[in-house]
Amino acid sequence: MIPHDMAGLRLDQALARLFPEHSRSRLQAWLKDGRILLEGGGADAKQKVWGGERLQVETLSTPDAVAGQAEDIPLNIVYEDEHLLVIDKPVGLVVHPGSGNWSGTLLNALLHHAPALSGVPRAGIVHRLDKDTSGLLVVAKTLEAQTDLIRQLQARSVKRQYLALVQGCVDRGGKVDAPIGRHPVQRIKMAVVGNGRPALTHYRVCEHLGRSTLIECQLETGRTHQIRVHMAHIGHPLVGDPVYGARRTGDPVLDAFPRQALHAFRLGLVHPAKGQLMEWSAPLPDDFSILLDSLGGRYRP
C-alpha cells in the first residue's frame, strides 16, 4: 500500500521513496515494461497518488535478469567484501556480452565467482572498460550497492585515472570539454558531435618519449571511448588505437603496438555501505610496461 503521507506525489516520486535500493531509471523501465502495477493495472510515471493504493512490483531476481551463463574464467580481484568487488581487468577480456562476444566475458566470470549476482542487473557491472583497455573497475554485489555506485558516477564523484600513451608531443596538460555521441556516418565509432552527451576529460603530461607522450587522464564523465575520442579530437590519438589512431607515427616501436595504450590505474569511491572513501591502484600490464621501457620511459604511476 502507498502510505498516506505520500499523497500528492507523482508515482515515480513515490516509487523512488519506497524503493531507494533501485535507481529511478530502473523503476521507470519497470513501469514501461508493465512490471509495476497500480491497483492491478498499468500506470504512468507522472500520475499522482493519494495514499492507500495497492502497488505490485515484479523485480525479476532470477538468472534470466542478466544475459549469459556462469563460466569459470579467472579473475584478478583487488578487493572484495559483501557489498562490492574491484577487478583488475586484463587486456582482451570483454566486459559484457554483446554482438560477437556472447560468452567468455567478465559478466560470465562474475556469475561463476558470485552466483548471487544473477539477481543484480548486469551482474553488478556499473561501468565498463573497452576490450583492449586494462585496469580497474568496480562491481556491485547488491542492488543497494549498485544504485549507490550509479548515483556516485552520475554525481561525478568516482575518481577514475588512466595512463595513456598518445601520438605526438603534448606540450602541457589541460582538459577536453566536448560532447560525445555516435559518429554520424561510421556508426560503429563515437565522435565529438554537437548533439552528443556532455563529456569532460582532464589530462596532464607525465613524460615525453620521442614521437609520443605519456599522459595521465582523469574522467569526470564516462562516455563510450571517451579518452580515445577526446585525445584524437585534439590531434593526439592513442598509440595502437585501431579505430581512432590509424595513421602511422613513423616509429616502428609505436606502430607495432597492437592495441590502444590505455590502462585504468587508479579508482576511488565512497564505499556504499561503510561511507568511507576507498582507493585502489593497479600496476601496468606487461605489454604496456615493456613498451615504455623500449622507449626509454622512466615514469610509473
Which DSSP string do the residues of 55-114 spell out, in sequence order? EEE----SGGGSSS--------EEEE-SSEEEEEEPTT--SS-BTTBSSSSHHHHHHHH-
Q: How far apart are CA 164 and CA 111, in angstroms?
A: 31
Judged by average pLDDT, the poorest of 67-71, 108-112, 243-247 is 67-71
Phi, psi of 93 (to 5 degrees): -90, 120
Q: Quick one: average pLDDT of 17-41?
A: 80
**Cα–Cα distance for residue pair 217/210, rounded to 1 Å:** 20
C-alpha pair distances (Å), 36 with each of 26, 45, 55: 11, 10, 7
Determine which of 45-49, 88-92, 158-162, 290-294 has the lowest per-residue pLDDT on average.
45-49
Higher pLDDT among residues 31 and 232, named by residue:
232
What are the beta bridge partners of residue 202? 175, 218
Residue 64 pLDDT: 40
Owner of C-alpha cell 569511491: 269
Positive or negative, the CA dihedral 218, 146, 188, 180 is negative
Can you tell me the mean pLDDT for 157-161? 96
pLDDT digits (tens, 9 = 90+) for 128-149: 999 999 999 999 999 999 999 9
pLDDT digit string, tens, across residues 165-190: 999 999 999 999 999 998 988 878 99
- Which pLDDT tens digit goes with each residue over 268-283? 999 999 999 999 999 9
pLDDT of 21 reads 64
Q: Which three cell numbers stand for residue 69?
A: 551463463
Average pLDDT score over the chain? 90
Q: Which residues contact 206 (CB under 8 A, 6 or more apart)?
A: 163, 213, 214, 215, 216, 299
State mean pLDDT over 2-25: 83
Q: How many CB atoms lie within 10 A of CB 91?
A: 20
Q: How confident is the model at residue 60 (pLDDT cuts 50, 70, 90)?
A: low
d(CA 217, CA 116) in angstroms, rounded, equals: 34
Per-residue pLDDT reduced to its tens digit, 198-211: 999 999 999 999 99
Report whether 130 contacts 260 (CB < 8 A): yes
pLDDT, position 20: 73
Half-sphere exposure in the Cβ direction for 204 (13 Å, CA)? 5
CB atoms within 10 A of CB 31: 20
What is the C-alpha separation between 290 and 284, in angstroms, rounded?
Answer: 9
Scored b (16 or more CB within 10 A) or e, 179-214 reads: bbbeeeeeeebbbbeeebeebbbebebbbebebbbb
Q: Kindly tell me if the per-residue pLDDT of 235 is higher than 70.
A: yes
pTM: 0.79
Beta bridge partners of residue 161, listed in sequence order: 218, 266
User: Which are the catalytic amino acids?
Assistant: 130
Grid coordinates of 21: 535500493
In which band, very low, low, confident or very high, does the pLDDT at 65 lie, cut at 50, 70 and 90? Answer: very low
Residue 62 has pLDDT above 70, yes or no: no
- The yes-or-no verdict on residue 254 having pLDDT over 60 is yes
Three-state SS for 51?
coil
Residue 301 burial (C-beta neighbours within 10 Å; 0-12, 13-18, 19+):
middle
